[in-house]
Every structure is written in C-alpha cells, then in structure tokens.
Chain A
Amino acid sequence: MVAHPEHRGWVRGQRRSTAVTVPDVDITAFDPEAPDKPRFIHAGLAPSDRAFNGVSTVIGVLVLVLTAAIGFFLALQLIPTIKHYGFSFFTETDWNPDQNKLGVAAALFGTVEIGLIALAIAFPLALCTALFITEFAPRRIKATLVSLVDLMAAVPSIVYGLWGFFLLQPHVLGLSRWLAEYFGWIPFLSVDTDAHSATWAETQFTASAFIAGIAVAMMVTPLTCAVMRGVFAQAPIGEREAALALGSTKWGVIRTVVLPFGRGGIIGGTMLGLGRALGETIAVLLIISLVYKVNIHALQVGAITTSSLIADRFGDSTSLQLKALLAAGFVLFALTLVVNTIAGMIVTRSRSGAATEI
C-alpha cells in the first residue's frame, strides 16, 4: 500500500528535553504542564491534484456508467419480451416470428452443449500442455512454449472456424461415424441413420455440434492452459524437493504436489474456458447448420447456439423480435458472467491467488 504523503490528519506532537527551535512557537510561553496538543498538518491537495482526482474520477464513473448502461439496457429488454411472449420465452424451442412463437430453449441448450463438448476436449489437452510446459519441457524452450500458447489464444476465431470447416470436418466424419456405430446406444451419440450400412449417409454427420465443439475447443485450450500453467509454476519448490527427496518420480511430484496445489487453477481455468466457449459466435456459425430445435444428438447435422441465433436473425427482425434477441443476448451474458465470476472466485481463493491475471 502506498503511503499518501498528503495524509490529512493529526500527528502526535513530541516533547523533547533537548531544545528544538520551532520558529513560530513562542518558547517563553511554553508551559510544561499544558496537555499535549497534536500538531495539525494541513497538507491539502493542490488545485492541480484536485483537478487530477476529479478528472480521473469523472472518467472512471463515465466508464462505469457506460458499461453498466449496456448491461442495464440488455436486461431492460427482458420486460417487453416476457410481457409479449410470456415465460414460455424460456421454454419455447422454436424461433418462428410468423406464428408468434419465439423462445431461447433450443439456443440455450445448444450453447451449453457445444460449450461442454469443447470443454471435454479442451480440458485434458490443456492440462497435459500445462503440465508438459511446467514439468517436462527443457528449460531452454519453456519461454517459447509459453509464447506459443499465448499466440494460440491470439489467433482470430474465424481462422479456427476455417480450420474446423475445411480441414477438420472431412477427417472427423469417420470418427463421428465410428462413435455413432459403437456408442449409438447412448442417446447423446446416436444419429438418425443406419450407421452399419455399407454406404453411409455422410451428410448426416456434417455440420454437427460435435465438430463445432472441436473448433471451439481450439479457442478454449490456450486460455485454460495459460491459467493452469500459471498456477502449476507456483507450486512451492520446497514441497517439490521434499517429494523428490523422498524418492518420488516426476509423476509422483505432479500427483502429490503440483495437482493438489493447482486444483483451484485447474477448476477456475476450466470455467474461464467455458465462459469463452459459451460466447463464441463466428466459428460456430461457420460450421453448424442452424436448426431451430433441441438437438440432443451431438454427432448429427444441425445445432443452434444463442449467438448464432442472434447473428442469423438480427437482420430481418422487427422491433419486438429485436428486443427478444437482445433478451436472449442478456441471458447469454448473464450465463457467461456467472460462470466467469465463479471461475474468478475459485482461482483467487485457491492457495495460488496470484494466477488471476488472464
């Protein structure tokens, strides 16, 4: 904490036996029996500093008002939307303005579905990468690897969209089919086609939530990995050495010291990644083909997320539908905010508090 020299307040006056000449005090009038009176140090702010404080406060408040206004404006759109469509706005799956039926249920389901798929892929990859960088990588290339992870986070999402759509999709179809063939008894992985037929319906497997989830995982991985790595790197050296001194292997150190120490970072980083995955728009929009229904079959063609719904529909919306879209956006914002806040709290409260700077 910085001590502010313009500290206004009372400082105890000191009585000294040796004479201290204080210019404006009449020594002859000095009465040793008089009670101690604190000397008032009035170091009020200079006008320039008042102006400085004022200006920066005004800007801070301005930013506060601006940003809060956006959230408030979005929240406000819920009122006319619910008034008109009722609470079925949250349960209706279709988005059909012609029949006056609008709802975000399918979109919210798809958002969470793709987010969870992305997380299921990104979590082990991020954990492995973070452990590799902190534990196994030669020290010479460690800094380079950290930069590469940061670079991966900086790649625009549309590039991952291109990658997922053009390069990944043809290669993943086989995997999708294999999963549907052998694990189709799980409803989540089933596809409405005969997976065993000799000529398989390839189009049933394209543009699915699964493929979009992989592309989103590419965006989530570096973010999650960066948080985890930051926490792992702070695992106390003494405990590492203690484990090694007891004859532990590298994995033993990881299991008994690094992972327990970094638990907060692992959970928090993963949730931060989830927050990012929920809001992703353009890569998902490029890959999936939109269907306005709850599609539980993750491998099958067609999905919808809140942000792709908005990007698809904003152009031909009337004022009321636009309000409904904004309300859907607010629901998404609230969801992301809750996830991010919990993540932030977990990372900060864990033993490794300094890892929140992502």
Chain B
Amino acid sequence: MSTESLPMPSVSGNLPDGAGEDRPRELAVRTTDDVLSFFGSLFGSLGAVWIVYGELLPEHGLLGFIVCWYLSFLALYTAVTAMSHPRPVVVDRLMRAIICAGAGIVAFALATTIIYTFVRGWPALHHMNFYTQDMNAVQPTDPLTRGGVLHAVVGSLIELAIATAVALPLGIATAVYMTEVGGPLARTVRTVVEAMTALPDLIAGLFVYTLLIVGLGMQKSGLAAAIALTITMLPIIARSAELSLRVVPGGLREAGLALGAPKWRMVWRVVLPTAGAGLATALILAFARAVGETAPVLITSGASTYFNTNPVNNPMNSLPLFVYSGVRSGEPNFITRAFGAASLLLIIVLVVFVLIRFLASRQKGSVR
C-alpha cells in the first residue's frame, strides 16, 4: 500500500549556451502534428466504422462497434504516424494507445460497478424505512416503503465486533511475537500464518460449520459466523501488522532500551505507538475484507428476517447475506433491496477506505 511516486526521469546536462543552467529533457512534448494525427485517426476511424459496421456488416451491438472502432483507430493511427516518423516512434505510439486503453477499461469497469450498484439501489435507499425497519412480516413482494435492512446492518456490526475483538489482540500479539521475540519458532509461525492467508474464506466457514454446528450441536448463529470471520481476519491482521512493526526503526527500540526501559515497556510505549497508523491500517484492511465476506456467513449464520441482537441464539442476518438472499429470491422488489444493501456495503467500504488513506498519509508525515 505504498504510495511512493516515481521521480520523472530527467536527463540534465550543461547546455553550451545555457550559462550552466540545468534543464531536464522534455519528455512529453506534444506538437500540433501529434495532436492532429491522434484526433484525425480517432474521428476518421469513427466515420469509417460507422459506415462499414453500421451499414454493411451483419453484426450489430455497441460492444462490437466500440471494438471495431478501436481496432481501426489503431490501424489508422499507425499508418498516419508511419508516414512522418521512424519505426520506434510508431511502436511507441501504438503501445501507448494500447496501454491507455487497457487502463481505461479497468477504470470503466470499476466506475460501472460502483455507479450501477447505487443506481439500482436508489429506489430502496431513498425510503427512510430502509434504514429503520427489519424484514419481519414483510413479504418479498411488498413495496419498498415497507421493510428495511436494519437487522442486517446490526447483525453485520455485531459479528464484526466479536471477530475484531478476538482477532485484533491475537493478531497484533502474534505480530509482536514474530518481530520482537523472534527465534526459529517465530519463523514457523510466520510461515503458517502466511499459508493461512491462502485459505479460501468459504473453507473457514465450512470448518466452523462442521466442527461447531454439526459436531458440537451449536445453533446456526451470529457467534458461529463471527468465529468464521475471525479465522479469516486473523492471518490478515497478523501479517500486515508484522509488516508495519518490521519497519519501526531499530534505533528507536535501542533508544528505549538504553533509557533503561524493560522490553515490554519499550514495545508498549515505543514500538506500538510508532507503528500505530500501520496497525490501524492492518485492522481496517481486515475489516474491509470481512465486512464483504458472504461465503462464510452463508454457511454459519443462516439468514433471518427479524431483528436479533443475541449472537448466541438463532440465525443472525448480515449485509452480504441479505444481498445474496435478495438476489436469489428473484423478486424485483427484493432485488432492489439487495442492491440497496450492496450500496450500504460499498459505502462502509468507502468510508473505511478513506480512513486508511487518512491514516496512511498521517503515518507518512510522522517523524521516522
């Protein structure tokens, strides 16, 4: 999650008439010729494809049109450039166009994902009852003015609170063990923790289901879901907390110890506060991952329609599970509610994400 920016490569040399003034070589010069050949190719290919694709070819559809437009743009752009430039420049421009298009596709996909979710969820989102009611005694076909996701939000929060309360101290203590105590055993712990990040989230849920629900006869409940989420969160927290503890400068540790502090006090007063922002980032990363986990809660908690604040008894709904069951129901109104819940999920992730950024920027500014 580093945000190091790459200094622009600059080549400087003493210009003969520059009176010793260093001037970086301008790398991004754009002449009129460049601009014109770009836009000329763009519109030229648009026109050609419009006629050929729209009128002559048997295919139709927006996707095909855009693909054809892009391909003929590439061809035209190459041809135009080749008329006035040597081969390296032609290849450079071609690759630039391809790379920018690839990045554009990704940006477009991300934008459509977020916008589409909010647009589809809006009809549910702008009713107040969506935030204040549960789905108890609400039929899936009922209008959007009845029922809401309060039970799912509360369920999500309870499950996450339990999972965080267990995984955070354990994860940070494990990270402290790996960095501050060390030894051959710590390397084993690190290897195993890293391996566990490969555990598919569903398997964590299935593990809890088999052992606690089938094996020990526990109810499908929020607690079971919280345990499954803990298994998912623990390796993430331990791993990223270890990364941030490892970059705490050794000089700070030595200074603390040289002042006569015992090791535990040094860790508590020097290492952990210094890595504080990194630890918060670790927590938030794990939180953002866990809040959207559907598969483990699907197996372990069961969907309820009513408000349930007791994690030990009875099924407890959560936001991702609400989304899943809503979509699976096939009822248009329920699907809209599902999109509304998905928008809430996205909002939570966004808020958490802005928090990460904020903390990361504060960490960067802190004294190292």
List the interface of chain A (C-beta within 8 A of B).
1-3, 5-6, 45-46, 48-49, 51-53, 55-57, 59-64, 66-68, 70-71, 73-74, 124-129, 131-136, 139, 142-143, 146-148, 150-152, 154-163, 165-167, 171-172, 174-175, 178, 218, 221, 225, 230, 233, 237, 240-241, 244-245, 248-254, 275, 278-282, 286, 307, 310-311, 314, 319, 322, 325-326, 329-330, 332-333, 336-337, 339-341, 344, 357
Contacts and interface: CB of A to CB of B under 8 A. Distances in A.
B355 to A, nearest CB: 11
Given A60-B177, A63-B189, A128-B105, 16 more contacts: A66-B234, A67-B196, A70-B231, A71-B196, A143-B5, A151-B353, A159-B117, A172-B63, A175-B63, A230-B2, A233-B6, A244-B11, A250-B96, A279-B199, A286-B324, A357-B240
B359 to A, nearest CB: 13
Given A70-B231, A175-B63, A326-B206, A156 B98 contact: no
Most buried by B among A6, A57, A245, A319: A57
Contact of B193 (A6, A46, A63, A166): A63
A357 B2 contact: yes
B7 A237 contact: yes
A158 B325 CA distance: 11
B200 A56 contact: no
Contacts of A233: 4, 6
B80 interface: no
Contacts of A159: 113, 117, 292, 342, 345-346
Given A60-B181, A70-B207, A240 B9 contact: yes
Nearest to A77: B210
Contacts of B107: 148
Contacts of B264: 48-49, 51-52
Contacts of B324: 158, 282, 286
Interface string B185-205: 110110011111111111110
Contact of A142 (B5, B11, B263, B292): B5
A231 to B, nearest CB: 12
Contacts of B349: 151, 154-156
Smallest CB-CB A-B distances: 4 pairs: A128-B102, A156-B292, A279-B200, A60-B177
A132 B102 contact: yes
Nearest to B234: A63
Contact of B342 (A70, A158, A341): A158
Of listed A56, A62, A310, residue having the most chain B CB within 10 A: A56
Nearest to A237: B9
B176 to A, nearest CB: 5
B101 to A, nearest CB: 7
Interface of B: 1-11, 25, 27, 59, 61-64, 88-89, 91-92, 95-96, 98-103, 105-107, 109-110, 112-114, 116-117, 120, 170-171, 173-174, 176-178, 180-181, 185-186, 188-189, 192-204, 206-207, 209-211, 214, 231, 234-235, 238, 240, 243, 250, 253-254, 257-258, 262-265, 267, 288-289, 291-295, 298-299, 320, 323-324, 327-328, 338-339, 342, 345-346, 349-350, 352-353, 356-357
Nearest to A52: B264
Given A151-B350, A241-B11, A311-B299, A279 B202 contact: yes
Contact of B202 (A71, A152, A237, A329): A329
29 contacts: A1-B250, A6-B263, A52-B264, A60-B178, A61-B189, A70-B196, A74-B203, A127-B102, A129-B103, A132-B102, A150-B356, A151-B350, A154-B352, A155-B114, A156-B293, A156-B342, A157-B292, A158-B324, A161-B327, A163-B113, A171-B63, A174-B61, A275-B198, A310-B203, A314-B209, A314-B299, A322-B210, A337-B195, A357-B1
